[in-house]
Amino acid sequence: MDITQQAYNKAVEVLEACAKRQGFYASGLPGGYEAVWARDSMTTSLGAVLLGEQFKKTIAKSLELLAKNQGEMGQIPNCVGSYNLDRKSDVTYNSVDSSLWFIIGSFIYARVFKDGKLLKRYSENIGFALCWLRSQDPDNLGLIAQQPTNDWFDAFPHKYGYTIHIHALYYAALKMMGAKQLAKNVQQIINGQKRKYSSLYDHKLGYYYSWAWKNHDSIREHEEWFDTVGNLLAIVTGLATPRIAKKILNYIDKKKVNRPYPCKCIWPPIKRGDKEWHDYFALCDARNPLSYSNAGIWPFIGGFYVAALVKMKQYKKAQAELELLAEANMKIIKNPSSPDYIIPTGSRKRIGGEKLVEMRRREFNEWLHGQTGEAKGEPYQAWSAGTYIYAYECVKKKRVLFF
């Protein structure tokens, strides 16, 4: 059995561990991310829906929980469930992408399982979420402006205004809803075909800005670090033109963003003293270059990288990168840490400290070190498993699924 199949089989085991009665937890071990995040559960579902009806109920429960806790203005929650002692609320809302992923996840579920009743059941929730999203448009351009740390980069790096990550998802959600003119407007602005002052694509860099905001005469608020998943989602969803997509993939090769494993989440790393640095960065897990969201390797992004290669019909390379991604996902943490928040979990579930740590010697980790490739973070990560299955099936079928 080759490593891609081994990783596929293990990915299914990971999803089984993450599947709870409430929906998909972000990770599957005691003391991990024991809650339902909108982005994690719906990203995970990209692969889970491809496994027949095995996880149909879990996906449906995830959607049900998110819809049930929709905010009074239409916002879908970021997370439902208390996973550590620092959380004072069981429901948090501070994200933009959660509403987009809820819409995308609903349409993919209905499509795969031929369940039009689900879309009917959640039609008001979906419409309400879209209304909230369209309200985040202070320039009245048909774009979404976000606050800092309001997507999966929830602490580092700092970005605001128009972001490529959000607009790739927005483009996909609008197309799924049949709002073709709204989607076309997003694509034309982001790619610089109209209202160039709000475009995110930079011809000289050969990729999209991670974020940009207002122009002040000749100076625009923006930063030029490479947002890997945002640019890859632009390819996968079709927001990027083939010419732009090719340049993005060339940049990834040139800067080795896909090495030692696919893919580092940003490039280059941000260091203390750089103009992009903020004081609070020193307190987060990304304070060190090549760690966590500071150019650490995130396997879920690697899944979208493989899918992007398939989108561009680079099938041979997609297969090679899938093998590397499988290797990354099968790595086991050598010296698992014991974060403060898992100690109460051990006590509550009567699991001894040593056993709790030993249980964390598992595959499908949250991230890997950007230079050494050493496995880090939480093991049995749902979206690492879900996007691996998704990438595997895209390679097998030689087409990008759902987008």
Q: Are 41 and 23 in contact (CB under 8 A)?
A: yes
- Residue 235 resides in a domain: yes
- Residue 159 resides in a domain: yes
Return all residues near 211 (Cβ < 8 A) that are at least 6 apart. 159, 160, 161, 162, 163, 164, 200, 222, 223, 227
Long-range (24+ apart) CB contacts under 8 A made by 241-250 are 241/191, 242/312, 244/191, 244/201, 244/208, 245/308, 245/311, 245/312, 246/312, 247/206, 247/207, 248/206, 248/207, 248/208, 248/308, 249/308, 249/309, 249/312, 249/314, 250/206
Angle formed by the axes of helices 164-176 and 228-237, to 10°? 20
- Residue 191 resides in a domain: yes
- Residue 206 resides in a domain: yes
How confident is the chain (403 residues) per 10-residue block, as mean pLDDT?
96 98 94 92 98 98 98 97 64 95 98 97 98 97 96 93 98 98 98 95 98 92 98 98 98 98 98 94 93 97 98 98 98 74 57 71 95 95 98 98 98
Distance CA 119, CA 127 (A): 11
Q: Which residues pair with 376 in a beta bridge?
A: 367
- Residue 329 resides in a domain: no
Q: What is the pTM of this model?
A: 0.96
- Residue 315 resides in a domain: no
Give the domain extent around 173.
142-241+250-257+274-286
Q: Are 170 and 176 in contact (CB under 8 A)?
A: no
Give the residue from 71, 220, 183, 197 showing the smallest Cα distance to 139.
Answer: 197
- Residue 321 resides in a domain: no
pLDDT at 350: 64
Q: Are 162 and 154 in contact (CB under 8 A)?
A: no
- Residue 178 resides in a domain: yes
In the chain, the number of structural domains is 1
